[in-house]
A = this chain, B = another copy of it.
Amino acid sequence: MTDEVAAAPRKLTVKGRATRARIVAAAAELVFAHGVARTGIDDVRQRAGVSASQLYHYFTDKDDLVRAVIAHQTDGVLDAQQPLLDHLDSFEALERWRDLLVDLQEQRHCQGGCPIGSIAAELADDDPVARADLADGFERWEAPIRAGLARMRERGDLRADTDTDALALALLAALQGGLVLTQTRRSTEPLRTALDAMLAHVRAAAA
């Protein structure tokens, strides 16, 4: 949760930081539900209960606000998977992580897809700054998966010649694609199936 706060101007008072955080949270909710293009500054302003001048005190324009939303959503995605995400270094932990990801979709009635991936699909081509931020967001997600699998290899749970970087990237891709199909079909079956297949592939590398 610290990245977004760190990105905010240092001069903000405690109250200022709270107002800024309220604006970002309101924007993130609207973007998650309707996408970036369908989220107007005025909708955000109303939902956060702030004036236009307050909003523009914290954000120079919509692009600036969208950058804060990407950071906020990345923090949220990673927080929701903690503490598991930082300890994905056993087959049992990977299975519990899979169950957590499926449960999150059940709770959301399969709506919204991935908070990072859905913004990526919308902005990656049109907005180079957002694309770079989204790539960083995915990297922050992939890094702990990669680290966990590397520890399994070091410990001898996975064969010494296992390309754990490739496994981590493939796992994140299966998760992303599972979420797109789960959102479209309103069923967690695609997510479960994709993750189970990729976890079986990880198990095939067991020493």
On A, residues with C-beta under 8 Å from B are 33-35, 37-38, 111-113, 117-118, 120-122, 124-126, 131, 134-135, 138, 166-167, 169-170, 172-181, 183-186, 189-191, 193-194, 196-198, 200-201, 204
Report the separation of the CA atoms of residues A112 and B34 in the bound assembly, to the nearest whole angstrom. Answer: 20
Number of copies: 2
Let me know if A170 and B183 touch, CB within 8 A.
no
Which B residues lie within 8 Å of A193 (CB)?
166, 169-170, 173
Which B residues lie within 8 Å of A185 (CB)?
135, 138
A135 to chain B, nearest CB (A): 5
Let me know if B184 and A177 touch, CB within 8 A.
no
A193 to chain B, nearest CB (A): 5
Let me know if B173 and A194 touch, CB within 8 A.
yes
Known: A121-B118, A181-B169. A174 touches B200 (CB 8 A): no
Residue of B nearest to A122 (CB): B35
Let me know if B197 and A134 touch, CB within 8 A.
no
Report the separation of the CA atoms of residues A190 and B113 in the bound assembly, to the nearest whole angstrom. Answer: 19
Let me know if B170 and A34 touch, CB within 8 A.
no
Interface SS, A side: helix
Provide a sorted-by-A list of 12 A–B residue pairs whose CB atoms are within 8 angstroms. A33-B126, A121-B122, A122-B122, A124-B183, A124-B184, A169-B190, A170-B197, A173-B181, A173-B193, A176-B181, A177-B178, A177-B194
Known: A173-B193, A175-B177, A194-B177. A184 touches B111 (CB 8 A): no
Let me know if B118 and A184 touch, CB within 8 A.
no
Let me know if A125 and B180 touch, CB within 8 A.
no
Report the separation of the CA atoms of residues A135 and B183 in the bound assembly, to the nearest whole angstrom. Answer: 9
Which B residues lie within 8 Å of A191 (CB)?
173
Which B residues lie within 8 Å of A122 (CB)?
35, 118, 121-122
A36 to chain B, nearest CB (A): 8
Let me know if B198 and A169 touch, CB within 8 A.
no
